[in-house]
Amino acid sequence: MAIKGRYFMTDHSSIYTLGKEPYEIVRAFCPDICSKMNEFSIEILVTRGGRIGSGMGALLEGLWGYMANQLLFDENEHFFDIAWMPDNQYNDFTIVEKNVSWNPDDRTGELFRIEAKSMNRQADESKAHFDVLKKELGKNDSLLILVWEWAAIDKTHRYPKVIDYYFGRALDVVELRDTLHVLRGGSFVSSSNCPDGCNPATCPHDGEPLNASRIRERLSGPDSTKGNKVSYAANFGGLVRMLKTSNTSAKSAFQKYRSTDTPQEAFISFIFRNYPDEEKNHYGINQLRAVARQRNIDPAGLSKEDLYDLLKHDNPNRCIEELRYCN
């Protein structure tokens, strides 16, 4: 998919426009990037076996960057590059202006950053985490999630196939994550009232998440909030776990996001589409029965499992759309 035309630098910003910002351009290329990845994988990454915890996800995350650069270079006048973040910087990639000096410490020359995550759909539980703090993100900084599986070529050989992806502004996912975290009983450290008694002007813990038991969720949280058995809880930001709702307030907020066409709803549907057990577990049998009646299906005598499978039968790779509007 070629995007025709020329990108021009505006007079007052480092954004090249074709009616779209670079964020929109990279986002539009994602389907083709994933297709190129699969073409490469089926030629080069063929193997026998294929473990879930093989490290293949990290390889695919890097491969996305290379394929994205190749596609942008081949099909467009190339005014920006996709660069690797150096050292131990949080993000994986950054979009930088071509032929402009780049300083990752102060973001000089950058347009936006990309954090890449991979999720194996065959794993019992995804370990992918997105725990970056809101204050550390720029407006167009993005979250890329690649869902993949070991796909059979023949009776003995398989290759890692990307089957779905999510590419969106990271702050949209952060809003959903942080809202549900608080409604589940969690909190965020304020520099004006840090548990370590830090000077508010220099407190390094501002915005750090604490769970409902006031245990820090990240290693960088306040020392005084360590757990008794663990140094930190490490549950905050799990890409699947962050959608859990444990009380009425959390469920209400979650459903408000789901019932509107928001970026948060797009993320929720992405997770439910690829991990249908999460969708099934989130909703009760009465909600499934209501959807069945909307489809003129008699739910009498059907278990929750059977009812869910029946509602998914015609579109197994899609979410149950009516559940977006069930209270």
> Average pLDDT over the chain, rounded to whole?
88
The pLDDT of residue 125 is above 70: no
pTM (two decimals): 0.89
Which neighbouring-strand residues pair with 151? Answer: 159
Distances (CA, A) of 93 to 22, 84, 89, 138, 248: 14, 5, 10, 14, 38
**Of the candidates 32, 33, 42, 90, which has an alpha carbon nearest to the alpha carbon of residue 63?**
33
- In this structure, are residues 205 and 111 in contact, taking their beta carbons and an 8 Å threshold? no
CB atoms inside a 10 Å sphere around CB 131: 17
- In this structure, are residues 199 and 211 in contact, taking their beta carbons and an 8 Å threshold? no
For 69-78, 154-163, 225-234, which range has the lowest pLDDT when averaged over its residues? 69-78
Spatial CB neighbours of 107, under 8 Å, sequence gap ≥ 6: 138
Q: Which amino acid is at 265?
A: E
**Interatomic CA distance for residues 187 and 260, integer angstroms:** 26
**Of the candidates 114, 106, 109, which has an alpha carbon nearest to the alpha carbon of residue 25?**
114
Backbone torsions φ then ψ of 34, nearest 5 degrees: -65, -35
Average pLDDT for 295-323: 91
Q: What is the per-residue pLDDT across 169-224, written as a single tens digit (0 to 9) for each?
A: 999 999 999 999 999 999 999 999 999 999 999 999 999 999 999 999 999 999 99
The pLDDT of residue 67 is above 70: yes
- For helices 22-44 and 56-75, the axis angle rounded to 10 degrees is 120
CB atoms inside a 10 Å sphere around CB 94: 23
Per-residue pLDDT, 286: 94
**Of the candidates 33, 40, 107, which has an alpha carbon nearest to the alpha carbon of residue 65?**
33
**Interatomic CA distance for residues 191 and 205, integer angstroms:** 7
Per-residue pLDDT, 13: 39
Percent of the chain at pLDDT > 90 equals 71
Cβ-defined contacts of 306-310 (< 8 Å, 24+): 308/280
**Interatomic CA distance for residues 81 and 55, integer angstroms:** 26
Per-residue pLDDT, 3: 31
Burial degree of 71 (CB within 10 A; 0-12, 13-18, 19+) = buried
The pLDDT of residue 19 is above 60: no
96 conformational bin, left if phi > 0, alpha if psi -120 to 50, beta if neither: beta
- For helices 263-274 and 170-183, the axis angle rounded to 10 degrees is 80
